[in-house]
Amino acid sequence: MQRYKNFTQAKFIELLTVLYKALFQNPGLFIEHYFPSAHHIEVQIFGDGRGAVVDMGERECSIQRRHQKIIEESPSPFCLSHPEVQIALINDALQLGRLIQYGSAGWSLGFLQGL
């Protein structure tokens, strides 16, 4: 790993573009905002394909490494301390499942930041 100090943002992006072109033959660069207090929460739903949908609660998947979930905790500690968020997430997941007449088992995903 290399560390670069005292670079402007534009100079740093230029440097990365050249580096990626050399390493991957593609100068494309994807930059995303870092959210230090974000929560990745999923609601499990089951639907019959005709509009009947039930939930099996929510789980928190915020602890990740290299974009892979390491710990999944249910119920979500964040939702336990914010029951209004838990209710809204579950209701939204159920409404979505009913709207599209979901016919399987799956997850509705929510990302929360700044609450």
DSSP string, the chain: -----S--HHHHHHHHHHHHHHHHS----------TT-EEEEEEEEE-SSS-EEEEEEEEEEEEETTEEEEEESS-HHHHH-HHHHHHHHHHHHHHHHHTT--SEEEEEEEE---
Specify whether 16 is located in the same domain as 53: no
Specify whether 47 is located in the same domain as 97: yes
Q: What domain count does the chain have?
A: 2
**Average of per-residue pLDDT across 88-109:** 93
Instruction: Give the domain extent around 4.
Output: 1-31
Specify whether 27 is located in the same domain as 73: no
Per-residue model confidence (pLDDT) at position 99: 96
Specify whether 45 is located in the same domain as 27: no
Per-residue model confidence (pLDDT) at position 110: 80
Specify whether 50 is located in the same domain as 3: no
Specify whether 19 is located in the same domain as 44: no
Specify whether 92 is located in the same domain as 67: yes
Specify whether 5 is located in the same domain as 49: no
Strand partners, 55: 45
Whether 115 has a pLDDT exceeding 90, the answer reads no
The whole-angstrom separation of Cα 95 and Cα 72 is 24
Specify whether 59 is located in the same domain as 108: yes
pTM listed for this prediction: 0.67
Strand partners, 105: 46
Per-residue model confidence (pLDDT) at position 59: 92
Specify whether 54 is located in the same domain as 98: yes
**Average of per-residue pLDDT across 75-92:** 94
